[in-house]
Amino acid sequence: MSRPGEPPLIPPPAPPSAPSALAPATHPTIVVVGHGMVGQRFLEALAERGVTARARVVVLAEEPRPAYDRVRLTSYFSGSTPDDLALGEPGFLDRHGIELRLGDPVESIDRAARTVTSRSGLVTGYDTLVLATGSAPFVPPVPGKDATGCFVYRTIEDLLAIEAYAATARTGAVVGGGLLGLEAAGALKGLGLATHIVEFAPRLMPVQIDEGGGAALLRTVESMGLAVHTGVGTQEVIADAAGAVTGMALSDGTRLATDLVVFSAGVRPRDQLARDAGLTVGPRGGIEVDERCRTSDPAVFAIGECALASDGRVYGLVAPGYEMAATVADELAGPAERPGPGFTGADLSTKLKLLGVDVASFGDAHGAAPGSLGVVYSDARAGIYKKLVVDPDGVLLGGVLVGDADLYGTLRPLTGSVPPVSPEQLVLPAGIGAPPALGPDSLPDDAVICSCHNVTKGAICACFSLPEVKKCTKAGTGCGSCVKVIGQLLTAAGNGPADSGLCGCFPYTRGELYEIVRTLRVTSYATLLDTHGREGARGGDGCEICKPTVGSIIASLAPTLGVSGYVLDGEQAALQDTNDHFLANIQRNGSYSIVPRIPGGEITPEKLIVIGEVARDFGLYTKITGGQRIDLFGARVDQLPLIWTRLVDAGFESGHAYGKSLRTVKSCVGQTWCRYGVQDSVRMAIDLELRYRGLRSPHKLKSAVSGCARECAEARGKDFGIIATANGWNLYVGGNGGAEPRHAELLAQDLSDAELVRLIDRFLMFYIRTADRLERTSAWLERIEGGLDHVRDVVVHDSLGLCAELEQLMASHVAGYRDEWAETINDPERLRRFVSFVNAPDAPDPSVKFVPERDQVKPDLVFLTLEGVSAR
C-alpha cells in the first residue's frame, strides 16, 4: 500500500463521465522482470483488475519464448510441443497493451532513478518494479560439473539440449531424487538410456514423503529398471581428455559409467539482481518481502520462487507464487481490491505422477505436530502405501499416498477437520475395511479444490462443464492435480462428463451441431454460438474444442451454404487448428513441411524434376512417405508461398497433410503392370483422390486401392479401402493403421465403378454427418449403435431415406472444390499472414537452423538449446 502522504501506486479508474483511459504521458509504468508461470499469472491478475487499462506494463524476460507450463515440462518427451505448453490465451498481451521483450534479461536496477537496464542496453523507467526472476537449479560444487554432457533440468532449452545429446549416449545419471529428479530420470529412460538416480538423502522424495512412502516408491522405481543410489553423494564427475562425461564417483566408493549427467538437486532463489541493487535478502537466499510482497524498497515487489515470504520460507511450488501474484495485483489495483491480510503462507500439498506412479502428500505429512498419530496401510507387492496423520481427537492433519492417490482430492480439503468416516476406512482397500463411498461431493462448499487458484467446491459446482470451470475460475489450469476431482464434482452435480454436449460452450454433440448448421444454414461460428450456445457462453469467444470443430463443419458444408470454402477467409481463420493457420505442418524446430498431392502415387518425370529443384533451391529435407507422396521438410513460414508458387505452376496442388481431411489414396500398379492384377487400381485411386480431395471431416481420412487379393496397397488398414476382384471391387470401411490398428470390414462386394463411387460418397458423408470430434472412422464404427450393420442399412439399403441427400452433399463438395494454395498465392491479402514476425515481416526466423545428415539436412537441436525458438 502507499505510504502516508504518497499518491496511490496506480491511479484509480476515471469516473464514468471522464475518458476511459489516461493519456499515455500520465500512465504509470509497471516493469515486470521475468515471464515465467508466476509472471504470466501476475499479468493476468492485473488485467482482471483493470490495471492494464490504467498503466503501461513492460515485461523483460530472459528466456527466448513467452511463459510456458513448467509443471508439465516433462510432457515434451511424451509428444507435447512447446506450443502445447504455452500459457495465456492467444493475443492476451496485445489485447491488454502489455509490452513483452524476450531474450533480454534485466542486468541492473537503479533504485534512485527508478530504472532498469537490460542486457541489450535498453533502459526502462518504472513507477513500480515487480521481480519474478524465479529460481535456478542448484549444481553441487563437485569437480567435473561443467564437463560436456552435464545438464540441468529447468527449461525447454534444457530439455532440447538433453534430447540432442542423448542421441549419442547409452547411459545417464540424475543427481537428485526429488520431484524434478524423478521426472528427469523418466525422461532419460524414455530416451532409451540406462538410467541411475543418485540421492543424498536416505530415501526418494525426502521433502514430500516419509520413510514408508519412500520405500514403496523405491520398489516401484527399481522394478522399472532404474538403478537407485540413496544415502550417497556425488564426489566427482569424470571426464575424458576431450572434456566429455564418462562416469561419476560416489561418496560410498561406487563408480558409475555414464555418458550424460543431469543435475536436479534442488533450486535456489534467483536473487542476485536484488542483492546488487541493495535490497534486503535472507541469510540463506531469497528477496525478503512483507505480507503484501513488498521488498525493502516500497516501489519494488518480489513474487514466486525468488521471494522470501514473511513467514520465513521460500516457496518452490506454483500455487504460492500465484497467490503472491494476486496479492501484488490487489495492491496495485487500490484499497478496494485488498481483501484479508495478504500473503502469509501457502498450502504445500502436491500430487504428481512420477514415472507412472501416483505420489501425493498434503498437510503435516511427516507427523511433526506434537501428539499426532499415524494410520498406515502398506502393500509392498502392489507398491501401495497410504498414511494419514491425525491428532488424538481425530482431526486430519495430513497424509502420504504412493501408488494409489485417488482420495487425494477429497482428503486434502478435509485437512483440519474430522472426516465423516474413520481414518482406517479411508486407507483400507475395498473388501478389507469395506469403507463407505467417500467422494468429493461429501466436501463442504467452502472446501478449496484448486489450491493453485484458491477455487472452492461451490464455485466449481456453479459451472456446467470442465471448460467452463477453467475459463471462469482457472481451476484445473495450474498443476492439474485437481482436474479429476473437478470432473467428479460436475458429474455428481449433474454437469460435466454426464452431459453429452461437445464442450462447455455447446450442449450439442458434433453430429447435432452439423444438423443445426446444415438445416438452419448457419454460416458463422459467432452466430451459432449466440443462437445455440449455452447461456453462459453466448457472446463469448468459445474454446479450443468447439472452434475448430465448427470451422470444419462449415468448411465441409460450404458449397451448400453458399460461403467460401477457403479455411482462412474471414472468421474461419480464427477457428482453425495450428497447422491450418499456415496450410502446412509445423515441425519440431519451428520449420514447416510441404506435401504436394500425388494422386495414386503416379507422377511424371517432369513433376519429379520440379520437386527435386524446389528441394535443392530451398535446402529442404526430402522423404518419400508411406502414402506414396514426397514430403519436403524445413521450410520457414515466409518461404511457403515462394515454394508453392513454383509447385502450383508445375501443376501440383495441396496434399492437405495439415488438415482433418483426405490425405492419400494409395495404390499398387494393378493390372496395367502386375501379372496378378485384375483391375486398374491406379486409375481408380487417382479418380477417388481427386474426387475427395479437400473434404473436411472429423478426423483425417486415408484410403487405398489394391488391384488384387494380394493386397499390396494395404487397403484394409485404411478408413475406406478397395480391393479388386474378377467381378469388380470390394469396399471395406473403418480400418485404421494407427496407434490402435483395426482391420476394415467388408461393406459391399463385386461393385461396378459407378456403384463403388456412389457407396463411398454415401459412407463418407454419413460419417462426416454423425461422427464425434476427432473420431476416426474405426472408432465411429465401434461406437455408433448397430455398428457396421447399421451403416450398411443406411448407405447401401437407404433405410433412413438419406442417400439422395448424402450424394447431393458430396456432389456439391466435388463441384465446389478449390485448391487452397492456388487461391492463396494469387491473393496479396492472404499472403500477408506468411511471415515469421508480424512486426518485422521481411526478417526470417533466426531460430530455424539445420545441420547436415546423410547428404540432406535435419533440425539443429544444439542451436535450439542456445538460441531458443522465436515466439509467434
- pLDDT at res. 286: 94
Contacts 24+ apart (CB under 8 A), 848-854: 848/589, 848/590, 848/591, 848/634, 848/636, 849/589, 850/589, 850/619, 850/621, 850/634
Q: So what's the pLDDT on residue 870?
A: 30
The number of C-alpha atoms within 13 Å of 89 and in the hemisphere containing its C-beta is: 15
306 marked ligand binding residue: no
d(CA 861, CA 161): 7
| Low pLDDT (below 70) residues in the chain | 1-26, 78-79, 335-341, 344, 346-347, 349, 351-356, 381, 429-439, 478-481, 493-500, 536, 570-571, 573-579, 581, 588-590, 739, 836-847, 860-872
> Going by C-beta distance under 8 Å and a sequence separation of 6 or more, which residues neighbour residue 573?
567, 581, 833
Cell 510441404 -> residue: 594
**HSE-up of residue 801 (Cα within 13 Å, Cβ side):** 0
Asked if residue 712 belongs to a known ligand binding site, the reply is yes
Check residue 128 and give its pLDDT.
Answer: 96
Residue 655: how many other CB atoms lie within 10 Å: 26
Ordered alpha helix ranges (H), 585-739:
605-618, 640-649, 681-692
Spatial distance between the Cα atoms of 506 and 528, rounded to a whole number of angstroms = 9
Q: Does the annotation flag 472 for ligand binding?
A: no
The angle formed by the CA atoms of residues 230, 233 and 234, to the nearest 5 degrees, is: 125
- pTM for this model (two decimals): 0.55
Other beta carbons within 10 Å of 163? 18
Residue 217, sorted as left (phi over 0), alpha (psi -120 to 50) or beta, turns out to be: alpha
Cβ contacts of 259 within 8 Å, gap of 6 or more: 149, 168, 169, 170, 171, 172, 193, 244, 245, 246
Give pLDDT, residue 434.
45
Which ranges of 415-545 does DSSP label H, i.e. alpha helix? 423-427, 457-461, 466-473, 483-492, 510-520, 525-532
pLDDT for res 865: 36
Q: What is the pLDDT of residue 846?
A: 63
Q: Residue type at 109? A: I
Residue 378 near residue 209, CB atoms below 8 Å: no
Q: In angstroms, rounded to a whole number, what is the distance separating the alpha carbons of residues 750 and 730?
A: 5
450 appears as a binding residue in the annotation: no
Distance CA 856, CA 337 (A): 59
**CA–CA separation, 577 and 657 (whole Å):** 13
CA dihedral sign, ordered 346, 347, 348, 352: negative
Res 752: pLDDT: 95
Query: What is the pLDDT, as a whole number, of residue 511?
Result: 87
